Structure 1
């Protein structure tokens, strides 16, 4: 059978390789998964049971494409508290933030249209964008987010419809975009008539420092689509996220949602609403943050102790990831396949995280779903293998920090 070309695009995204690298017995720093031991299972079970026992006769019926209104009301309040001017009628519930990425791409991108992505960027977003066959423009990352001057040059030289960014604890580098760059990004989008897709699944997962306003906070022309999700703060199996946007963009996104899956699960939305009524979400998030911060600290300590010289890493203030950079000429994909996986350790090689596949000598490490013991063991194994590989490549004298 002859399949559509978009199938080939998505099948080459690298997602399958990441799942394969997270199999039984593997210490996986690859998957960006929350720890299932932190899921509030009993509270969610009670919330689902309460939903069924309620007098809501429409629980299993079709509902609005926007989603369950009481839950949208609660999300509107949380977004307002976070600095976004919004009401329930401008929020749509989605099948995770991933559906929001797909809907935004479907709304804006025709074949060949320009889209700016951070380099590196979130693999799942590339898999969604690839389906629509855009022209990618990669903008490098600084320590405080996207390189704004490089972005300016792209916008001056090319026709771009959308800029995709993860400004808070970026996937995959863990970087936070500075306040100055958030304002500069909005100004450039206004000047060049570009839509910004702001992906914010990690905003609640800050482990130190002060939170910055979302880019959407500075949006005066309705050109920012903001995405959020319960996946990282409650459970990904709920498949429940949300988006908000200016009126013109929002109406188009709602229409596409209706043609995609009609609506998100009314049962799930109503049950999450009950959970929020009966539990303190912020208290739960505080527990989650505490656990992930400890794991991040353990990973940093292990890297400091075991990592060979010539290899650097980021130390994020939140999120799930840090970024490992090896010397020029290093091929992290080859290292993963021939060295790490045979020794039951994995990460995500940098080539998978850029449309061009050009960046070879870096990798994403996730600490969120790995025990402290396995973090220490996995980092030690990875570091020993890195040392041997670097020696074989360049004859660098072995030097492991003690």
Structure 2
């Protein structure tokens, strides 16, 4: 992709995102916190607005026109997501509040039912807390044992150590596709294949990959995959779980109440068919419909174009960051053309706290993340309380990276004068 194509892509998308066109502290906003949450295009905002202005009604429970329209749009969004990840059926898509709820659904429904003392769960040291804590809770309840895949010297998923951990005791492997701290892209197809050979099920946390890469659940053959809408141009409060139909059919409901039932009697109940048995209560209807609009938007843009553009931005960002003395980037370095990792960089600068960096950059209208990024165990391995993180998306530009680098250098100089 050439610089002209880059500008064309930026020009094609930035006008779709109204939030980007504002000032913070008197400076034009530069939003570089996309791994935490993405911004929302007008197509998504207007879809949510349209639902509440014109179609607001409960789904599946009414014969009137509003309910019919809401139900058609809600289930239409499910169909879009199924096609988006290449599920075999829309019955394999369960709406959740977010990826965290989706992981907990699998943990409490499948985990409590299938795990027993001595069974082993394998996760990696780079996992988000949402893919650590639920399994720790289930391990405490079932007697299962958690094992952690370490990092290689280049701070990537250690595939050889993973192979060594696998055994006939392994019942579940739960790993992130793209690390939100290290930026590494894990070899999920190989991980899944090896896990299946050992007789284990596999859950993939795709929060940081679904917004940026084309995902085919049939091709990678995962048993479950989770994602959050707010990281992929959709509203907050909506996400989804993909699960193989045969596995979901064997899993008991996670929550009880309305919507998930077949019939209810004074002495018991039956539960409904997939996917509704996992969607108790009134769902986030407007948000789910808007997630469908986000899928439409991303599909229109083309992931091939998004990924190529982000690779170019990544190469440019790393070239600039690596020129700064005493700056330590976590995770693998990309190739010279930006390939091999996601469009984010977590870093620390010797003698400067990450939160101080982000505060001073905010004064310049630049939004980055600081903290442990919900990967405290990983940061402890690095003997770091936290790190600063810049994360890019397809509406960011080289010019924004240049402004960030200039402001970062000025911040470093400011602290240097104080020392």
**Same fold (TM > 0.5):** yes
Which residue does the alignment assign to 1:197?
203
Contact 1:170 1:176 in 2 (8 A): yes
The match for 1:360 among 343, 365, 383 is 383
* SS of corresponding position for 1:237: coil
The match for 1:125 among 122, 128, 131 is 131
Q: CA deviation at 1:244?
A: 2.0
Which residue does the alignment assign to 1:95?
97
So what's the TM-score if we normalise by structure 2? 0.61
Which residue does the alignment assign to 2:242?
243
Which residue does the alignment assign to 1:282?
299
Q: Does 1:161 align with 2:183?
A: no
Aligned positions of 1:3-402 closer than 5 A: 32-36=35-39, 38=41, 40=43, 41-52=45-56, 55-57=65-67, 68-80=74-86, 84=87, 86-107=88-109, 108=111, 114-132=120-138, 135-142=145-152, 146-156=157-167, 159-167=169-177, 169-178=178-187, 182-183=189-190, 185-206=191-212, 213-214=216-217, 216-219=218-221, 224-252=223-251, 255-258=253-256, 262-263=280-281, 265=283, 267-268=285-286, 271-272=289-290, 275=293, 280-283=297-300, 296=314, 299-308=317-326, 314-315=333-334, 317=339, 319=342, 321-324=344-347, 335-336=353-354, 340=357, 343=360, 347-348=369-370, 353=375, 355=377, 357-361=380-384, 363=387, 365-368=389-392, 376=402, 379=405
* SS of corresponding position for 1:197: strand
Q: CA deviation at 1:239?
A: 1.6
Q: What per-residue deviation string (whole Å, max 9, x for no partner) do you get for residues 331-359 of structure 1? A: 9xx9336x546746764556952547333
Q: CA 1:342 to 1:153, structure 2 compared with 1: closer, same or farther past 3 Å?
A: same
Q: What per-residue deviation string (whole Å, max 9, x for no partner) do you get for residues 82-123 of structure 1? A: xx5x11222222222221111122231579864322222223
* SS of corresponding position for 2:180: coil
Q: Which runs of 5+ in 2 are unaligned?
A: 1-23, 58-63, 258-277, 363-367
Distance 2:328 2:285 in 1: 52
Distance 1:204 1:240 in 2: 11
Distance 1:308 1:292 in 2: 26
Q: What per-residue deviation string (whole Å, max 9, x for no partner) do you get for residues 207-226 of structure 1? A: 8xxx5755x5243xxx7112
Q: CA deviation at 1:304?
A: 3.3
Q: What per-residue deviation string (whole Å, max 9, x for no partner) do you get for residues 259-283 of structure 1? A: 6861462632673388489x65412
Q: CA 1:74 to 1:283, structure 2 compared with 1: closer, same or farther past 3 Å?
A: closer
Contact 1:60 1:266 in 2 (8 A): no
So what's the TM-score if we normalise by structure 1? 0.63
Q: What per-residue deviation string (whole Å, max 9, x for no partner) do you get for residues 308-336 of structure 1? A: 3765663465755334478xxx89xx933
Distance 1:341 1:364 in 2: 7
Distance 2:156 2:405 in 1: 26
Which residue does the alignment assign to 2:365?
none
* SS of corresponding position for 1:146: coil
Q: CA deviation at 1:159?
A: 4.0
Q: CA deviation at 1:196?
A: 0.9
Q: CA 1:95 to 1:340, structure 2 compared with 1: closer, same or farther past 3 Å?
A: same
Contact 1:197 1:225 in 2 (8 A): yes
Which residue does the alignment assign to 2:262?
none
How many equivalent pairs are there? 341
Which residue does the alignment assign to 2:4?
none
Distance 1:48 1:288 in 2: 31
Q: What per-residue deviation string (whole Å, max 9, x for no partner) do you get for residues 142-187 of structure 1? A: 569632211122224x9443222222x3322222234xx623x234
* SS of corresponding position for 1:151: helix
Q: CA 1:283 to 1:182, structure 2 compared with 1: closer, same or farther past 3 Å?
A: same
Q: Which runs of 5+ in 1 are unaligned?
A: 1-23, 391-402
Q: CA 1:269 to 1:252, structure 2 compared with 1: closer, same or farther past 3 Å?
A: farther
Contact 2:94 2:279 in 1 (8 A): no
Q: CA 1:239 to 1:188, structure 2 compared with 1: closer, same or farther past 3 Å?
A: same
Which residue does the alignment assign to 2:21?
none
Q: CA 1:123 to 1:293, structure 2 compared with 1: closer, same or farther past 3 Å?
A: farther
Q: CA 1:98 to 1:352, structure 2 compared with 1: closer, same or farther past 3 Å?
A: closer
* SS of corresponding position for 2:192: helix
